[in-house]
Each structure stands twice: as C-alpha cells, then as structure tokens.
Structure 1
Amino acid sequence: MTFSIVGYDPETKELGVAVQSIFLGVGSVVPWAKAGVGAVATQAFANPAYGPDGLNLLSQGKSAQEAIDTLISNDEGKEDRQVGIVDANGNSATFTGKQCYDWAGGRAGEHYAAQGNILVNKETVDAMAETFEKATGTLADRLLAALDAGQGAGGDSRGKQSAAIYIVKERGGYLGVNDRYIDLRVDEHPDPIKELIRIHQLHQLYFGTVKEENILDIEGSVREELVGNLNRWGYLDSTEVEDDKLHEQFTAFLHTENFEGRELERGKIDREVFNFMKQK
C-alpha cells in the first residue's frame, strides 16, 4: 500500500527517499539514509530493520544489490517485503517479494530505484522512474516530481494518506551541524503529495541559499516598500523612519519569522524575503 523512490545526486552527493502511502505517518517507517553511505526504502509488510541493517551493509562496502541479497537471505518473511536501495556510488537495486499484493513491483535505473505495492497499475512505477530520469533541479525536486507523477499515473489503489521526503547531505543540516538536509513529513492529509510539495517549497524559502541575483539594495523604492511592509507586519508604526531603526526592526522581523538563513549585510535584502513580506 505504498510507493516510493530512492535517489542519488552525483554532483551534490545527496541521497534520499520520497514515499506516499495509505498508512498513517509513513515517514516514520519507510525512509532511511546516511550521508556518504546510501538510502533505503523498506515497505509492503515492512521490516524496519532493513533500514539500519541495509545502511550498515552499505557502509561495509557492499553494493545496493549485495545489500538487498544479504537482507532477504536472513529474513524468513522476505516474500512479504519490498525494498529499494541506492548506494553512494549511484548503484541501485529493488526487490519485491512474491507474496506482496498486486500490483507490486519495482524498477531500478541510474541513480534511483522506484517500487510500489497494492498499486492501481504498473504505470505508477514506470511514471516515477521515467520522471526521475527526465526531471531537472535538485534531488528533492526530482524525487517529488517522480512521486507526484506516480500518483498521477494511478498511485496506491487504496487511496492517499501520508507522504514524506528524507534527504541527507554531509553537513547539510541546520547550521551545518548534522547531515539531515531535508526531513519533511505529511502524516495525515487528503492530498499528501501536494501538501508535501507545498511544505518543501516553504522549506526552501526559509532554509535555501541566497542567490546572488536576488540580492537587493535597501534604497529608493525598495526601502519605501520595505518600510510599508514592516508597518503592515507590525514592526514599525510610521512611514518616517531612520536607517538605524529600520535596520533594527528589519532584523527583528528576520529573526522572529525564522529567516536567519537569509539575513544579509546591513543595507541588503533577499528578494525571496522581500516577496514573502508582500504576501501578508
């Protein structure tokens, strides 16, 4: 009752999993990943041990296929399992046990493995695979596009409930102190993939990197509009404001609204923040 895709980006070295299911909080069970090691999706009558055990096997130098072979060789319930793995070299593999409910199967390709069970059709997996192969952008963009395409092609025959995306990158986490780059979940929602995409867009707004072409000088019409926005947000109470006060209150806005990652030197503003402020 789940479909997922594991993927690898050879340029950024990101590894991750995107998944959807008619299962409450699927993100707590299916996705596993470790920077520099690999990513694992364990599902169907999921064996949660496939996550940490699979990553441990990959860390010992086994390929994705070798890791799956070892996992299922030690599991009496293997015919009820489904698993997809990609390793840190981009090798991928997928396995579907013979007792998984139809439609069930998977497809492995360059830097990804897509799989699903209790699906409307085989086209769900094909759509994920083909979309990932053709999509551009970040690993998260490609995984989410693939997941959305899978839903559009048929998806889970029992419906929709939860979705998740988990991506690791060396020192990619908050403040660079861990490897948990993107860890987003929709545990219960009538359209979980669309909601996950929306939340990911917010994540990129708050924690994405500032693009050079989006840096604006706080002067002229930009300054005037910024002052107006800060008044509407309640950080100022007048359109006549000195530079020191403007800087103080703009900084307060950034820190209150969790935009510390987009804070620039005095006199500068990120266009993404500027546009966000206009939307209130």
Structure 2
Amino acid sequence: MTFSIVARCAETGQLGIAISSSSIAVGARCPWLRPGVGAVATQNITLPALGPEVLDQLESGLSPEHAVDKVLTRNGYSQYRQLTAIDHLGRTVHFSGSETLGTHNAMSGEQCVAAGNMLADRSVIEAMVAAFENGEGQLADRLLAAMHAAIAGGGEAGPVHSAAMVVVGELTWPIINLRVDWADQDPIGKLQTLWDTYRPQVQDYIDRALAPDKSPGYGVAGDDR
C-alpha cells in the first residue's frame, strides 16, 4: 500500500522524505519533518499522530530507536504500524509490526532508511536504498532516484495513486513540499515533473520570503522589477 524513503544529506544537513501509496493524498498523512530534529514516515495502518510525537521525543534528546519505541508503547496497536525515522545526526530506525500488510520490508542504509508494505517483492526496498546511496545531485534528486528504483523493481503489488516529497533545511518551513494527491497513472512521474519545474525556483521563493525588497521579480503584470 505504501513505500517510502527517509533520508539526510550529509553535506547540507537537509532532511527529506519521498513516499508513494495506492491510497489518496499520502502526503497529507504520512511524512513528518522538523528542521534540525529529524524526519519520520508513518505508514501501513497510519496514525498520523505518531509522526509529530516521535519528532517531539527526538527533540528532547532520545535516539530514533528509543523515540519510536516510547511512542509506539504509549499509543498501542503497534502491531499495525510501520515507521521509519532519521535524526539530525543521521541515525535511523525502522519498525514493522506483525500486522504489516502483505509483502513488506524495511532497511537502513547510509544516511537513509526505506520501508514498504504490499510490495511486489522485498527487494524493492533494497533497490531504494542502493539508489539513494549511489545517487547524485541534491537530496531531492536522490530521494526521487530511490522512488524510480522502487517502481523499476516492481513497486507495490497494485497500482500507486499518490506521491509526495518534503525536504527541510535550516528554515522553519519546508523548502520543498510537493504532492500528487491522486493520479490514475504514474504519480511518481508526475512528482518528478513537479520537481523538475520547481528546482530552479527553490532559492527564489526563499529569497522572496526572507528579503522581498531584494528578491527576483515575479514576472506578472504590475511587477516592474
């Protein structure tokens, strides 16, 4: 039903998540990130509250392993949950409860952790980790490389319909937050198109937020810059 990768860029410290699902609007429920703290993907039978609660525990100083264990114990029903997390130091954890759906797998790699359920094959997750580790470019490029590798490896057992990618850096808000809430076909391809369009504009939007008097023009009627 869902596969995802949670990762950190060792050079910039950025944290990111890319995720896809057969369900609608996966980006609304499953990826949770906090700048300078960590990133959490909560999936399978999703309880969105787990994401911010794990981030709270990471911010308090707990390791990812202890943060996930504490939050799952407190909320119960851990047998239905699948979680992955990475902290600002690059430490990872993954958990798949006994009721995780269908063929599932989870795996940590260098500065990343991937997981999925209802997979075509367990090797899908291994392909994601390898693609991220060997990827080039920005963190977002490497996250999407992992998603494409998942699809090439078989992806989910059934069709996927939504996808999302979120990246945080030093600012208090996400510098990248792209979503395909529903597509009959190829939501990851559509997410790639969104990123290809947004990539050259990322810094412009940051500049406009922080220094609107010095930022690039908007290219609309009435803007003389």
2:173 maps to 1:179:
yes
Residue of structure 2 in register with 1:90 after alignment: 90
Q: Distance in 1 between matches of 2:196 and 2:203?
A: 9
State the shift of 1:181 in Å: 0.7
State the shift of 1:16 in Å: 1.2
Structure with the bigger percentage of helix:
1
Amino acid at match of 2:194: I
% identity of equivalent residues: 36
RCO greater where, 1 or 2, for CA within 8 Å and sep 6 or more? 2
Q: Distance in 2 between matches of 1:208 and 1:198?
A: 18
Residue of structure 1 in register with 2:219 after alignment: 255
Aligned residues: 212
Amino acid at match of 2:188: I
Q: Distance in 1 between matches of 2:160 and 2:97?
A: 23
TM-score by length of 1: 0.72
Residue of structure 1 in register with 2:188 after alignment: 193
What is the CA deviation profile of residues 95-118 of structure 1, one whole-angstrom value per residue up to 9, with x for unaligned ones? Answer: 101111221120012211100001
What is the CA deviation profile of residues 110-155 of structure 1, one whole-angstrom value per residue up to 9, with x for unaligned ones? Answer: 2111000011111110110111111111110111100111111011
Q: Distance in 1 between matches of 2:60 and 2:13?
A: 18
Q: Distance in 2 between matches of 1:75 and 1:109?
A: 28
Is the 1:38–1:86 contact (alpha carbons within 8 Å) kept by the matching residues of 2? Answer: yes
Amino acid at match of 2:200: L
Q: Which has the larger radius of gyration?
A: 1
Gaps of 5+ in 2: 205-215
Give SS of 2:149's match. helix
Q: How does 1:196-275 map to 2 (within 5 A)?
A: 196-208=191-203, 254-256=218-220
Give SS of 2:10's match. coil
Gaps of 5+ in 1: 172-177, 210-250, 264-280
Q: Distance in 2 between matches of 1:100 and 1:207?
A: 37
Is the 2:176–2:202 contact (alpha carbons within 8 Å) kept by the matching residues of 1? Answer: no
Runs of 4+ in structure 1 off by over 2 angstroms are 205-209
What is the CA deviation profile of residues 65-121 of structure 1, one whole-angstrom value per residue up to 9, with x for unaligned ones? Answer: 111111222232111100000000000111101111221120012211100001111
State the shift of 1:20 in Å: 0.4
